[in-house]
A and B are shown apart, each in its own frame.
Chain A
């Protein structure tokens, strides 16, 4: 069943077209990589799906219902959660409160004792067991990313948008990160991930969509897409094709 469907979605900033007629479908339970060189419009696409940016043209549908005119909080209530390219922690809150913020305002809110148990579980899932009381601004970069993921998972998403969640991790952390995302996939969460770490893409995604200069240039099984000459050209320039 199709969970997410983009139909000729376009985003213009003044005279610049950041995303141009982008169309693709995501099936329920799929983990799909959204690739492309810097500035190709991947994050803009993600921002339109989560409602952060309004679309200039086209429609986005979640499970058959158009969401492209909804505000981010409405889209969140329909089961879309995300992380941000540059981690956005809530610095004046504790780690636990960061997660609580997601639990308390999701479609079926959790609050009080029930929330505390759930926070402990979620933090344990991402490897932050027992750190709920710590101030968020005291965490290291990798732990901030973990916390942001726990916060995204706390809203029980059907669709999870990860924007370069694995970027900047060392090899050990990367291994742990890939395992973590694999475990999410096994729980049936549909994941769309923008990623530059090719090893991770190969390990996680059954399918990849490649963008260049705002348009989709490839869409298919990961191995085929990554071998595609046009994709290599987009990433590395003409000499390597």
Chain B
């Protein structure tokens, strides 16, 4: 029972870590606090759902369509909606405020579209729902696949950011957007690209979610919230922190759901958030305040 809960928790935590990495990229590099992030995730879940149920495309292949679509959509959102805001705001606080409001509006647009097309009911489909035996505990194969995908994407992103020239550029902008232009970096286009990559990760997360969870059009808020909590716990811009924090959150949630009450998982999440804010607002793995 405990071992099975831990296994389930790790799978869930891997998904949280994956989506949180996208959000930390959007906030850390593009300086956009994207409140519509969870709705991109849900939109991708719906995408995978439609591809699988209507066209019979399995989610793994579906990713080849959904992830580029998430990238393109986010690229477009940034170029049309957020870049003008970034240009007109002189300071970071102003951009933060404006982007929060603009993406808050966007949340209702995306959610509204999803409601019109799919209604407010819960959705799921059955893909690789075969039990697999791990050390005496059975777990659905789709969950294992979800965990594997989360780890693969997370590691891939980490390698790109730490081992490539492009990754260095992104990290430079994250560390100091004001002086990046001095070394010939076009901050505008790096921010747009980072925001789009964040969207691609959200889309990947959405497909992963759709493989083993039921989801509905109004669930975006919860995913945004959890991703935000993971980002803050892990320290803004810290990918390894997001991974660790995501796994912790997934474990705690699953343990609370299996041993206390499933109705209290969000409360547990919030309790962790509260504790982090009170004790270490810079994040468990973040640097001390400057």
Contacts and interface: CB of A to CB of B under 8 A. Distances in A.
Interface of A: 13-14
B163 interface: no
Closest 3 CB pairs between A and B?
A: A13-B290, A14-B287, A14-B288
Contacts of A14: 287-288
A172 to B, nearest CB: 31
Interface string B267-290: 000000000000000000001101
Contacts of B290: 13
A112 to B, nearest CB: 32
A14 B288 CA distance: 8
Contacts of B288: 14
- Is the interface on chain B under 10, 10 to 19, 20 to 34, or 35 or more residues? under 10
B282 to A, nearest CB: 12
Contacts of B287: 14
B91 to A, nearest CB: 11
3 contacts: A13-B290, A14-B287, A14-B288
B206 to A, nearest CB: 38
Contacts, number: 3
A14 B286 CA distance: 12
Interface of B: 287-288, 290
B118 to A, nearest CB: 45
Contacts of A13: 290
A13 B288 CA distance: 9
A23 B290 CA distance: 24
A14 B287 CA distance: 9
B175 to A, nearest CB: 13
A13 B287 CA distance: 11
Nearest to B290: A13
A162 B233 CA distance: 39
A209 to B, nearest CB: 26
A59 B287 CA distance: 25
B188 to A, nearest CB: 26
A48 to B, nearest CB: 15
A13 B289 CA distance: 9
A224 B290 CA distance: 37
A13 B290 CA distance: 7
B97 to A, nearest CB: 14
A14 B289 CA distance: 10
Nearest to B288: A14
A15 B211 CA distance: 46
B60 to A, nearest CB: 44
A237 B100 CA distance: 49
Nearest to A13: B290
B264 to A, nearest CB: 36
B10 to A, nearest CB: 33
B290 to A, nearest CB: 7
A213 to B, nearest CB: 20
B194 to A, nearest CB: 25
A222 B287 CA distance: 41
B178 to A, nearest CB: 14
B134 to A, nearest CB: 42
A41 to B, nearest CB: 16
B235 to A, nearest CB: 14
B15 to A, nearest CB: 33
B89 to A, nearest CB: 14
